[in-house]
Structure 1
């Protein structure tokens, strides 16, 4: 008997809730420059994390620490996971579903 993997969460449903509750937008990897611009304005940008192909992993960025803290509280990420970017004017965190 083989073990069945638990199905991955539906990211579209989660994103719809995030966009409704917080000022979040999803960007593809090719849209990262736009995601950075959106984040630098104090919004929350979410894009696929190209470091992980096996899991649903996303990079979340914002120029506002308060906005990314609200995001983390909303999805259950510990606030100590938030890091300051060394190269850009934003905060970031990895989000794995």
Structure 2
């Protein structure tokens, strides 16, 4: 698993990076594989987002952005971690809700 450091000031920048990384992993066309987002809640408050991309043959890759931990963890379709990105700057959580 590789580790990277990145900074994103806007939620759409973060989402675009996640979409690109998930599509690149399985050679998916981003125009044909939309990105889905679900708020991640802890104790009733939003603390990040879960992203996923669905491809052909029930292929599903995902990523979890934990704002509390300032990182994004990427998972392949078998559930194994393939990338971890530490965030030096994150978007505001109010944008995620």
Q: Same fold (TM over 0.5)?
A: no
TM-score (norm 1): 0.36
Give the structure with the larger strand fraction.
Answer: 2
Which structure ranks higher in relative contact order (CA pairs < 8 Å, sequence separation ≥ 6)? 2
Larger Cα-atom Rg: 1
